[in-house]
Amino acid sequence: MLTKEGCQTRQTRLRDELSSAGIDAIALVHPLEIYYFTGVLLPESFPAPPAVFWFEADGNSWLAAHTDEGDPLVDESVTYEWSIGGTVNSYLRTQLGELVVDRLQAKNTKAGRVGYQREFMGKLLADHIEKGLGGAPEWVDVDEMLNQMQEVKDDDELALMRKAVQIDLAAYDAAQQAISPGVNELEVLGAAQQAAHLAAGEKVFHDGDYQCGQLGGFARDRKIEEGELYIIDAWITYRGYWSDLCRTFSVGEPTELQESIYNHLSAFHDRIGDYLQPGKDSRDCAKAMDAYIREHPALAEAGLGHHGGHTIGLRAHQMPDVNPTRGGIFRVGNVVSIEPGSYIPDARAGVRLENMYLITESGPENLSVYPMEIRCRS
Amino acid sequence: MLTKEGCQTRQTRLRDELSSAGIDAIALVHPLEIYYFTGVLLPESFPAPPAVFWFEADGNSWLAAHTDEGDPLVDESVTYEWSIGGTVNSYLRTQLGELVVDRLQAKNTKAGRVGYQREFMGKLLADHIEKGLGGAPEWVDVDEMLNQMQEVKDDDELALMRKAVQIDLAAYDAAQQAISPGVNELEVLGAAQQAAHLAAGEKVFHDGDYQCGQLGGFARDRKIEEGELYIIDAWITYRGYWSDLCRTFSVGEPTELQESIYNHLSAFHDRIGDYLQPGKDSRDCAKAMDAYIREHPALAEAGLGHHGGHTIGLRAHQMPDVNPTRGGIFRVGNVVSIEPGSYIPDARAGVRLENMYLITESGPENLSVYPMEIRCRS
């Protein structure tokens, strides 16, 4: 999990941000941001119990949630009743809201300017915060502030991402062993998922593009065919952090065309040090990738079939992305996926090869060292 | 998926509810309720694109979402731009909100009383709706109205739940084959997940309690041991609908105590027809279950270890539940899980056996016909 030290560092950084923006307190509601600052990862899906992390620029912090387990880095935790006998209560947000009113009133909380997650704040909770404060504060959108903070990874975040990548690579080992003409795409996915759990030492989310002979899409109830290329764009989340990688495998012996496309796209990763440097513009990388791909005669028309990559962390896609028309300046501590991909029917259906790189002072570190070989190792 | 006919029936029912409550229009935001009425199931997780279904008691309906695929049962669909080149945009709710303002203004929409999902409505979207309407409406909480509607299942819902149950049972077949002393709990989970995908003919969510020798909890990186009981409380969601079942297996030959507890709990399902009748109170079922369990000398102290069950559908837990202190009156069309369970250390660690039943005019129909046998079939 994220460490106490990491959370403390981030809270200090947050306090500085709030002070300089003249914000009295912040109310965070998304489980991922609550995790980022307190170290407690609350479930995002069933039963998706709501929570709020209240953090004052010049004072106390508390977490209101369905549980106080996990030792959150806050001054105090308060809880609401989330179930009876194991049956999840129907109106959890209503209960949370009432708890928040009590909390704000008990502390006699004053806050004129309150930072909030504009994208995620519920109307119900906002109404309760206003009631607890005795009137509507000036609500200040902090989404961009949080996004900016999260672009640069701390050491405890990187440790989790490194582990997520290793789990993803173990899934590739299993997928390669499963790939053979006549095998169902769902079997390949299932084999990779099982391997991912074992590599993680706990159950993890693993999914991604598992359609054979297609450029993307989820696994289907369909047998893979000799002569197809199998693009597996595989995702893991491990303790809140994402890995997103892609490899392409031939089902049986590849054709000359398939192999030459593979080798061409693979070689882009050899020159990535030219682009993944602090201070460089991610858009330039996307443009260079497209131009490079078109140097292959068979790909001159197709070019780069999508974005060239994206930053990643608590969410699969963060900014800056690696698009010709949108991006930004790379900074030390960004983790960037780079994914040259190009698709033509003659190649049944194309190749995509994605690594994740950490931007350092001296250039990119490849977090996903793993062979680029078109033929499956069995 | 849910059918057009089913959605039409539900929309008619919703229109009647709104009219009788004097509500002019309703704004639904949760993907599950949008699915329930329009037939389009939008992803709840990555990238969890937000949407709103606007439905007027006496007029038009429209869906604002990231896509117009899936042929939603609405008069019109409008979309926002959710990605560039595949990178998910950061501020999807902001985009949705602006689209909603445009839509309400373009239609010159008037609505004095607007029904909304109090638990799920975002502050951002509510603010945009107020802007689009040219002023704040009277917001009317419709959560309980929706919950009441969803307690009684339509035929298209039941068809999906029946399929979900069959997938869950296929997972049990695979789990039984995997269970053997020395096998990792994560391997058992992975084998069941793979089988679930194949039985579904598509990837499905499958998880649940997979700890051996414990009464619950997610699979661990731990080898199962001869002499333990393996309680597998297995969940599936298939096209939005849940299955939630439980079986218990002995790792190796069960002890006399384990077998007698198993047989005692299993036999409660033989008398369930006494309780699962329209008009009966679910609390009585829970109380009877607890009293029955205590008739076993080894369980006289432990009794029922949790709720006796719950209704289920679009969400894992719906009301009424089967608790001694909370519940309600069963109606035709409820789907109810019944899960006698009791846990004592001497049994390493106990037994839980859960079926799902449909309440009909003439009593319960067991949706999850599957052997109750403590020994694994290999």
Q: Which two tokens stand for residue A187?
A: 């079997």
Distance between terminal CA atoms of chain A?
Answer: 34
Q: Side-chain half-sphere of B372: how many Cα atoms within 13 Å?
A: 22
Tokens 């077949």 map to which residue? B173
- Chain A residues within an 8 Å CB radius of B120: 93, 122
- Chain B residues within an 8 Å CB radius of A121: 122-124
- Chain B residues within an 8 Å CB radius of A201: 186, 221
For B319, which of A90, A123, A221 is closest by C-beta distance?
A: A90
Distances (CA, A) of B140 to A150, B61, B143: 37, 18, 9
Identify which of B169, B217, B210 has the alpha carbon closest to the alpha carbon of residue B190: B210
Is any Cβ of chain A less than 8 angstroms from the Cβ of B19? no
In a mutagenesis test of the A interface, which of B32, B83, B87, B211 is the best target, namely the one with the most A β-carbons within 10 Å?
B87
Q: Residue A209's closest chain B neighbor by CA? A: B203
Q: Residue B190's closest chain A neighbor by CA? A: A194
Distances (CA, A) of A236 to A171, A187, A320, B80: 9, 18, 21, 28
Q: How confident is residue B378, by pLDDT bands cut at 50, 70 and 90?
A: confident
Specify the pairing of strand A363-366 against strand A355-360: antiparallel
Specify the pairing of strand A309-311 against strand A113-116: unpaired
Specify the pairing of strand B113-116 against strand B138-141: parallel
Is any Cβ of chain A less than 8 angstroms from the Cβ of B113? no
Alpha helices in A311-368 (DSSP H): none
**A16 Cβ neighbours under 8 A, 6+ residues apart:** none
Q: Which secondary structure element, helix H or strand E, spans residue A314, and what is its range?
A: none
Beta carbons of A221 and B207 less than 8 Å apart: no
In a mutagenesis test of the B interface, which of A186, A236, A337 is the best target, namely the one with the most B β-carbons within 10 Å?
A186
Q: State the DSSP string of B129-181.
A: HHHHHTS--EEEE-HHHHHHHHHS--HHHHHHHHHHHHHHHHHHHHHHHH--T
For B203, which of A86, A189, A198 is closest by C-beta distance?
A: A189
Q: How confident is residue B61, by pLDDT bands cut at 50, 70 and 90?
A: very high
The three-point CA angle B183-B189-B191 to 5° equals 80
**Secondary structure class of A144 (helix, strand, coil):** helix
Query: Dmax over Cα atoms in chain A, in whole Å?
Result: 73
Beta carbons of B119 and A85 less than 8 Å apart: no
Give the pLDDT mean for B169-175: 98
Beta carbons of B91 and A45 less than 8 Å apart: no
The domain locations on chain A are 4-150, 155-366
Ramachandran area for residue B224 (φ above 0: left; ψ -120 to 50: alpha; else beta): beta
Q: Return d(Cα B276, Cα B331) in angstroms, integer.
A: 9
Q: Please tell me the distance in Å from A51's CA to the nearest CA on chain B.
A: 13
A270 CB burial (10 A radius; 0-12, 13-18, 19+): exposed
Is any Cβ of chain A less than 8 angstroms from the Cβ of B85? yes
Q: How confident is residue B290, by pLDDT bands cut at 50, 70 and 90?
A: very high
For B87, which of A45, A88, A323 is closest by C-beta distance?
A: A323
Q: Side-chain half-sphere of A179: how many Cα atoms within 13 Å?
A: 31
Beta carbons of B85 and A306 less than 8 Å apart: yes
Beta carbons of B123 and A119 less than 8 Å apart: no
**Secondary structure class of A116 (helix, strand, coil):** strand
Q: Return d(Cα A3, Cα A9) in angstroms, integer.
A: 10
Q: Please tell me the distance in Å from B285's CA to the nearest CA on chain A.
A: 14
What is the structure's pLDDT at A217? 97
Q: Return d(Cα A219, Cα A232) in angstroms, integer.
A: 10
Beta carbons of B124 and A119 less than 8 Å apart: yes
Assembly ipTM: 0.97
Residue ranges of B 289-328 with Cβ closer than 8 A to chain A: 306-308, 310, 315-319, 321, 323, 325-326
- Chain B residues within an 8 Å CB radius of A207: 203
Identify which of A216, A188, A206 has the alpha carbon closest to the alpha carbon of residue A343: A216
From first to last of the 378 residues of chain A, give the pLDDT tens digit: 999 999 999 999 999 999 999 999 999 999 999 999 999 999 999 899 999 999 999 989 999 999 999 999 999 999 999 999 999 999 999 999 999 999 999 999 999 999 999 999 999 999 999 999 999 999 999 999 999 999 999 999 999 999 999 999 999 999 999 999 999 999 999 999 999 999 999 999 999 999 999 999 999 999 999 999 999 999 999 999 999 999 999 999 999 999 999 999 999 999 999 999 999 999 999 999 999 999 999 999 999 999 999 999 999 999 999 999 999 999 999 999 999 999 999 999 999 999 999 999 999 999 999 999 999 997
Beta carbons of A203 and B197 less than 8 Å apart: no
Beta carbons of B307 and A198 less than 8 Å apart: no
Please say whether the beta carbons of B154 and B4 come within 8 A. Answer: no
Please say whether the beta carbons of B109 and B137 come within 8 A. Answer: no
- Chain B residues within an 8 Å CB radius of A88: 316-317
Residue ranges of A 346-375 with Cβ closer than 8 A to chain B: none
Residue ranges of B 132-151 with Cβ closer than 8 A to chain A: 139, 143, 147
Chain-centroid distance, C-alpha A292 = 28
Pick the CATH number of A155-366 from 3.90.230.10, 3.30.110.30, 3.40.50.720, 2.40.110.10: 3.90.230.10
Is any Cβ of chain A less than 8 angstroms from the Cβ of B279? no
Specify the pairing of strand B318-321 against strand B309-311: antiparallel
Is any Cβ of chain B less than 8 angstroms from the Cβ of A122? yes
For the domain B4-149, what is the CATH superfamily, name and number?
Answer: Creatinase/prolidase N-terminal domain (3.40.350.10)
For A306, which of B86, B219, B308 is closest by C-beta distance?
A: B86
Beta carbons of B219 and A203 less than 8 Å apart: yes
Please say whether the beta carbons of A30 and A117 come within 8 A. Answer: yes
Please say whether the beta carbons of A346 and A254 come within 8 A. Answer: no
Beta carbons of A124 and B126 less than 8 Å apart: no
The full length of chain A comes to 378
In a mutagenesis test of the B interface, which of A44, A114, A197, A354 is the best target, namely the one with the most B β-carbons within 10 Å?
A197
Q: Return d(Cα A204, Cα A35) in angstroms, integer.
A: 17
Residue ranges of B 181-200 with Cβ closer than 8 A to chain A: 184, 186-187, 189-191, 193-195, 197-198, 200
Give the pLDDT mean for B242-254: 98
Specify the pairing of strand B350-352 against strand B355-360: unpaired
Is any Cβ of chain B less than 8 angstroms from the Cβ of A131? no
Beta carbons of B317 and A47 less than 8 Å apart: yes
For A119, which of B93, B116, B325 is closest by C-beta distance?
A: B93
Identify which of B328, B329, B285 has the alpha carbon closest to the alpha carbon of residue B307: B285
- For the stretch B6-57, pLDDT in tens is 999 999 999 999 999 999 999 999 999 999 999 999 999 989 999 999 999 9
Is any Cβ of chain B less than 8 angstroms from the Cβ of A43? no
Q: Return d(Cα A175, Cα A235) in angstroms, integer.
A: 13
User: For residue A310, what are the β-bridge partners?
Assistant: A321, A337
Q: Side-chain half-sphere of B158: how many Cα atoms within 13 Å?
A: 17
User: For residue B375, what are the β-bridge partners?
Assistant: B250
For A221, which of B116, B120, B201 is closest by C-beta distance?
A: B201
Beta carbons of B122 and A123 less than 8 Å apart: yes
Beta carbons of B88 and A194 less than 8 Å apart: no
Round the average pLDDT of chain B to a whole number and report it: 98
Beta carbons of A202 and B220 less than 8 Å apart: yes
What is the DSSP code (8-state) at residue A375?
B
Q: Please tell me the distance in Å from A103's CA to the nearest CA on chain B.
A: 20
For A190, which of B197, B316, B321 is closest by C-beta distance?
A: B197
Fold of A4-150: Creatine Amidinohydrolase; Chain A, domain 1 (3.40.350)
- Confirm whether A4-150 and A155-366 share one CATH topology: no
For A84, which of B45, B139, B326 is closest by C-beta distance?
A: B326
b/e sequence A196-229, b meaning 16+ C-beta within 10 Å:
bbbbbebbbbbbbbbbbbbbbeebbeeebeeebb
- Chain B residues within an 8 Å CB radius of A85: 306-308, 321, 323, 325
B251 CB burial (10 A radius; 0-12, 13-18, 19+): buried
